[in-house]
Amino acid sequence: MNVVTIGTGYVGINTAAALAYIGHHVAGVDVDARKIAMLRERRAPISEAGLDALLASLQTIRFTTELSEVLGEADVVFIAVGTPSRPDGQANLDYVYSAAAQIGAALSPARDVTIVVKSTVPVGVNGMIETRIREAVQTRGGDGTKLHFASNPEFLREGCALHDTFYPDRFVIGTRDDKAFQMLTELFAPILEQSFVPPASVPSPSPRPRPQCLHTDPISSEMVKYASNVFLALKISYANEIAGLCEKLGGNMADISRGMGMDRRIAPYFLQSGLGWGGSCFPKDSLALLSMARDYGYEMPIVEAAVHVNRRQLDRIVFKILDKLRVLPGKRIAVLGLSFKPNTDDVRNSPSVELAQELVRRGACVCVHDPAGLANARTIYKDDGFLFCDTPAEAAKNADALVIATDWADYRALDWSAIRRLMRGACLFDARNLLRDTMVKNPHLLDGFEYQGL
Ligand SMILES: NC(=O)c1ccc[n+]([C@@H]2O[C@H](COP(=O)([O-])OP(=O)(O)OC[C@H]3O[C@@H](n4cnc5c(N)ncnc54)[C@H](O)[C@@H]3O)[C@@H](O)[C@H]2O)c1
């Protein structure tokens, strides 16, 4: 089939690459000319395992900034543009509606096309996109009978986005249109059936189960996405709340999380205590869910509490730092990790960045490092008063304290005694509890440090 993906960010580019790999002709469209220039050279604009190699191997994919150039041939069009938060927590739908307007203006009324919303959008927005595109096509003489619409929310995790695209747990299609359902199941058949040969750069898990497929209505499909993301955020906040209590009562949170996770009803994921959740999805999706509820006069105290607990984690680590260092002006603090989680270069809405910003605000000189997110951070946070460092050692030099803000495996493997020798002070704040096991099993590796977890 001929496929167009509008947006070549974390969702769009992985979807586009996977669909091209399983045999479709794909055009990736983005308004960001820099991304398109990189993609034309088969360079991934984001850091994702296996993506560069996959892009280099693909013959049936092309990239453009001009939707109108490629829309005429499309059988399926994905909308995969961003839906960031507005200051009041509502999802900003400008990009989604702008993509819809572009589709409506350029689509041939004579062509059978299925339009699929992959962006995370509040309940009802799929319906609104459909209305707007139908109206636009009708003003150009079409009767809209050839247009089909579906919601197909994305569940990939940054850091293993291609893996999740090729080997998803589930596939949700929200549509009342049989043709749209049929197009999507045909399009993704090799993935739904797990019948494709795994790409060399994205090996398959073993065993290799078929994803479960849920066919539902668009509103339920939209809500599955929010309800899932916010549930995962709740789990992390709950683990953080228990960890805070354990700090008072005693008890080892790593063991407690392990013990909880041994129950299949709970599962071991998203129970790690630490600085809290962030990134481009959980914060905005929890705020958007609360905003939807507010619009309908419905209270969601559990979700509100999860957001509150998450914000409190930042204060908890800041007060631990203040307890030790006292006055921050004149102090030098190394912050290791800026991405919101390891294995991604995404530094948007990262609690690690918020921590570094708070330390700057309180007068500290903050030296930051990240294994993958430094280039993005240098652009996005260039005016935030950070000293950007190319290595952890550079960040640690003459530091009064060091904070591990993102749990990159690279940091676990550091030569900590060498880091200690570079530092002026001894405080090591492990806001992700990355070295907690080391503290228990090989404490000599952290000799000379005053260690505190969160
Ligand atoms: N990042 C994730 O892990 C993830 C996972 C699941 C779902 N989602 C959801 O998917 C959507 C996209 O997220 P993302 O992280 O890929 O966003 P992103 O910010 O990485 O990428 C969005 C891209 O869309 C482009 N764009 C905006 N308007 C456009 C237009 N009119 N035409 C063409 N391109 C346009 C932007 O330039 C950008 O490159 C969001 O709704 C997000 O919530 C994200």
Which active-site residues does the annotation give?
281
| Domain-located, residue 223 | no
Confidence of residue 142 (pLDDT cuts 50, 70, 90): confident
In this prediction, residues 181-210 reach a mean pLDDT of 97
User: Residue 267 pLDDT > 80, yes or no?
Assistant: yes
In this prediction, residues 185-193 reach a mean pLDDT of 98
> CA-to-CA distance for 322 and 348, rounded, in angstroms?
26
In this prediction, residues 69-81 reach a mean pLDDT of 96
Atom of ligand 1 nearest to the CA of 91: 41
Write out the DSSP string of 251-289: --HHHHHHHHHTSTTT-STT---SS---TTTHHHHHHHH
User: Residue 440 pLDDT > 90, yes or no?
Assistant: no
pLDDT at site 140: 85
Hey, whose CA ends up nearest to atom 1 of ligand 1?
10
pLDDT at site 111: 87
Atom of ligand 1 nearest to the CA of 45: 39
- Tell me the C-alpha to C-alpha distance, in Å, between residue 65 and each of 8, 20, 76: 10, 18, 18
If you measure from the C-alpha of residue 280 to the centroid of ligand 1, how many angstroms do you get, rounded to a whole number? 10
pLDDT digits (tens, 9 = 90+) for 290-315: 999 999 999 999 999 999 999 999 99
Average model confidence (pLDDT) for the chain? 96
pLDDT at site 55: 97
Residues 53 and 173 in one domain: yes
Kindly report which listed range (105-114, 169-178, 231-240) carries the lowest average pLDDT score.
105-114
If you measure from the C-alpha of residue 235 to the centroid of ligand 1, how many angstroms do you get, rounded to a whole number? 25
Residues 331 and 198 in one domain: no
| Domain-located, residue 265 | no
| Domain-located, residue 359 | yes
| Domain-located, residue 315 | no
Ligand 1 binding pocket, CB closer than 6 Å: 6-12, 29-32, 35, 80-83, 95, 98-99, 102, 119-120, 154, 156, 158, 280-281
The CATH number assigned to the domain holding 13 equals 3.40.50.720
| Domain-located, residue 274 | no
**Whole domain around residue 52: which residue ranges?**
2-216
Residues 196 and 64 in one domain: yes
Confidence of residue 115 (pLDDT cuts 50, 70, 90): very high
* Percent of residues, the chain, with pLDDT higher than 70: 100
pLDDT at site 85: 95
Q: How many domains does the chain have?
A: 2
Domain final residue pick, 158, 190, 216: 216
pLDDT at site 109: 82
In this prediction, residues 257-264 reach a mean pLDDT of 97
pLDDT at site 143: 80
pLDDT at site 227: 98
Domain final residue pick, 216, 240, 263: 216
> CA-to-CA distance for 3 and 96, rounded, in angstroms?
18
pLDDT at site 254: 92
Q: Report the length, in residues, of the chain.
A: 454
> CA-to-CA distance for 150 and 156, rounded, in angstroms?
18
pLDDT at site 186: 98
Q: Tell me the best of 6, 10, 63, 171 to mutate to test the pocket of ligand 1, counting ligand atoms within 8 Å of each CB and taking the most.
A: 10
Domain final residue pick, 216, 243, 268: 216
Kindly report which listed range (3-12, 120-129, 141-150, 226-235) carries the lowest average pLDDT score.
141-150
| Domain-located, residue 255 | no
DSSP assignment letter at 133: H
Atom of ligand 1 nearest to the CA of 121: 41
Please state the pTM of the whole predicted model: 0.94
